[in-house]
Amino acid sequence: MPIFYNKVNRISNPRENNSPRKYYPVAKSIRRMKSKDVAQFIARETTLNPMEAEMAIAQLREAVLFFLKQGYTVSLGDWATFRVTLNSTGADTEAECTAARIKNVNPHCMFGKEFQRELQKVEFQLGSTMDSNRSNTKPEEGSGASGTGDPGDVTP
């Protein structure tokens, strides 16, 4: 299945006042897959039942959050690495550089090279063809790929 995209007309450089407008392809999501949908997929591919898979996903979230809050970087093999970055205001002196200047703690996920290589192999299709394409490809029975969701999610 391809990744769908829309054509969006934007200024080419937001930092320049008179920047020319250009068209850019922007990814268009079919819909948001919830953790329950992912758990059903995992259950089909493993010996876990859907509830166990959903619990494993929830526990993975809790484990990553726990270790990040302890100051660790969390590596999940060659799949992904999680770490935090900070947004803060600068200080003129080292003495003034305190934790009070930290405004936000941001989670950051870096995907492994093999994961990124696999994603580069995807095909693309214009979003205006999405509805006709979806009616031709039905999800597998019990896949959790039907029902409610956020059709038309656009990833900027």
Per-residue model confidence (pLDDT) at position 128: 85
Per-residue model confidence (pLDDT) at position 154: 31
Q: How far apart are alpha carbons 64 and 156 in whole angstroms? A: 26
Residue 114 lies in a domain: yes
Per-residue model confidence (pLDDT) at position 148: 33
Residues 143, 113, 155, 53: is their CA dihedral positive or negative? positive
Tens digits of per-residue pLDDT, 110-134?
Answer: 999 999 999 999 999 999 877 665 5
Q: How far apart are alpha carbons 151 and 136 in whole angstroms? A: 17
Instruction: Pick out the chain residues at pLDDT < 50.
Output: 135-156
Per-residue model confidence (pLDDT) at position 119: 93
147 φ, ψ to 5°?
Answer: 105, -155
Residue 127 lies in a domain: yes
Number of domains in the chain: 1
Helices within the chain (DSSP H only):
35-45, 50-69, 113-119, 130-136
Identify residue 92 by its one-letter amino acid code.
D
User: Residue 7's domain spans which residues?
Assistant: 3-136
Per-residue model confidence (pLDDT) at position 95: 96
Structure tokens at 48: 């876990």
Residue matched to tokens 């929830």: 58
102-111, strands of its sheet edge to edge: 74-76, 80-88, 102-111
Per-residue model confidence (pLDDT) at position 151: 32
Residue 92 lies in a domain: yes
- CATH number of the domain within which 74 lies: 4.10.520.10
Q: Could you tell me the maximum CA-CA distance found in the chain, to the nearest angstrom?
A: 64
